[in-house]
Amino acid sequence: MKVICSIHLFLFCYLPAFALQFSIVEPDTGRIQNLIAVLGHDSLQGRGTGTLGGVKAANYLAAQFNLAGIEPAGDEGSWFQNIPLHGSKPLPNSRLILELPDENRILILGQDYLLYKTGAQTFIPKPVQMVFAGYGINAPQFDYNDYQDIDVSGKIVVILNGEPRSDDPSWFNGKLPTVYSSAEAKQRQAIALGATGCILIPNPDDQYRAWSYWVKEFSFETVTQAFAPAGNLSLLLNPKQAHDLFSGSGFTFQDVLEMDKYNAVRSFQLLTRLSFSGEFKQRDFMAANVIGKIEGSDPVLSEQAVLVSAHYDHLGIGPKVMGDSIYNGVFDNAMGVAVTLEMARILNLPENKPKRTIIFILTTGEEKGLLGSQYHTIHPVFPLYKTTANINIDGISAFDEFSDVIGVGSELSDLGQILEKVLENMKLELSGTPASQIGTESFYRSDHFAFASAGIPSLSLFEGTHYLNLNEAEAEQIKFSWDQTIYHSPFDDLSQPVNWQAVLQHSNLIYKMIKETADYEGDIEWNSQASYRNIRLQTIAEKR
């Protein structure tokens, strides 16, 4: 079934702690369809951060909160939390020179390399020595340090993506990735040790992320918070060019890939040097989180809040694909935002009033690096230490009804216990992350990670791998095909088929999870082994 709606709508516009007694009021898929039809329409031009389409979307969302009777909770009594941002995009005449032992080579932007960081801080006028630092990881809790025997101060660090392979959950989370595998963590580690720059080499055998995938992902403007500290040169190198980096070092790139296969990666000096002079198109602008509030009904528990988040931004206008340049982001994340608005409406009905206060935050800049959620953790509209949990909505099941659920982050806190009770009530099973998603660093790629990093127990809910009308192989193929051909493309638009029974089922799951979390009588805490627990204790001690 296709989403169809006239754009004129936009223009007008049992432990005692568990209650598990839910209102008969269900989410209204008709309302959700209408919201999606507006948010995913070409007139919003993909809701890019800091664009006219993004501003239109924010105004529309505020109007929907107002219609639902939600209180504004943004700056100075408004719906908006305004964020100063800086945008930058590299131009083709940027010049990256690789100095080999016997010659110099000029690398081409887009073809040979892509820039994580842009702007004046990336300038390296004279050739700088390079050093290979394995995965670029220093993880004391795993007794692992790629930097132990090398000095990277003043040098450019060359590192592999990923982290050491493990089947042992107590060492680098076994098959699940840790935060150390993220590019951002590697870049921060290199900078902390005094490196001038960082070169990340993706795995050439990655079947999910060929170089064309990275070119598409890096084809949009880089956006940072205006007050962000200065960075340094940080780039992604096409693996086809990686062999040049190791010229004369005693090791080839193929040798390094073999080391990677057998967990025998070592760090060593390189004889190559690099310089960079970039040309950029830059701008400064404001974008806004849209924030509303439902006051809790319990005199005591209302002093605490549950934070419900969904990002409304997408990629905006980008490279044309088959004549279409609008990256509408219907599944990512117009559907999630529409469901969040519907949650606000039904939770604000008198018969559904939650015991705890609920803060609804529709974030901007998620696609640019969780910018809106990170800003909110620095400037929270409700104290962090009184924010008991975050439920993040980033994607809604639309392929088929499901019988199992993945709770990303649920194993880290008491939210896992609440989720198990909700699933039992709905006759659904809790599943682990499927093998096909293990490499996606799922906990670190959406707004719940920013809130968790501020100490708030957080999770996102996704359908599992077992469906009503699809077998596991069929479902896997559909998801793989969607990831490869639709995700972050102009084809994530209103023409996609949607199973509205699946949307209703997922919406009910989210509603019940929010309601049960908001009404939970006990404290919601991180598990003792969760790394975010100490941050939580700190915010409580500081009453931040």
State pLDDT tens for residues 420-438: 999 999 999 999 765 444 4
CATH architecture of 92-278: 3-Layer(bba) Sandwich (3.50)
With 90 as the cut, is the pLDDT of residue 177 above it? no
DSSP-derived secondary structure for 465-508: S-BSSS-HHHHHHHHHHHHHHTTTSTTSSTTS---HHHHHHHHH
Residues 332 and 433: their CA atoms lie apart, in Å, by: 19
What average pLDDT does this structure show over 165-188? Answer: 87
- Under CATH, domain 29-85+285-439+453-521 is a member of which superfamily? Zn peptidases (3.40.630.10)
Above 70 in pLDDT, residue 11? no
Q: What is the mean pLDDT of the chain?
A: 91
Residue with tokens 């590697």: 186
Note whether 205 and 211 are within 8 A (CB): no
| Mean pLDDT along residues 459-478 | 92
Whether the pLDDT of residue 535 is over 60: the answer is yes
- pLDDT digit string, tens, across residues 249-281: 999 999 999 999 999 999 999 999 999 999 999
pLDDT at res. 15: 36
CA dist 114 and 94 (Å) reads 11
pLDDT band at 480 (very low <50, low <70, confident <90, very high): confident
As a whole number, mean pLDDT of residues 309-338 equals 97
pLDDT for 206: 81
| More confident call, 206 vs 371 | 371
Q: Is 171 helix (H, G, I), strand (E, B) or coil?
A: coil
pLDDT band at 230 (very low <50, low <70, confident <90, very high): low
Predicted TM-score (pTM) of this structure: 0.88
Domain map (residue ranges) of the chain: 29-85+285-439+453-521, 92-278
What digits encode the pLDDT tens for the residues 26-66? 899 999 999 999 999 999 999 999 999 999 999 999 999 99
Interatomic CA distance for residues 381 and 293, integer angstroms: 10
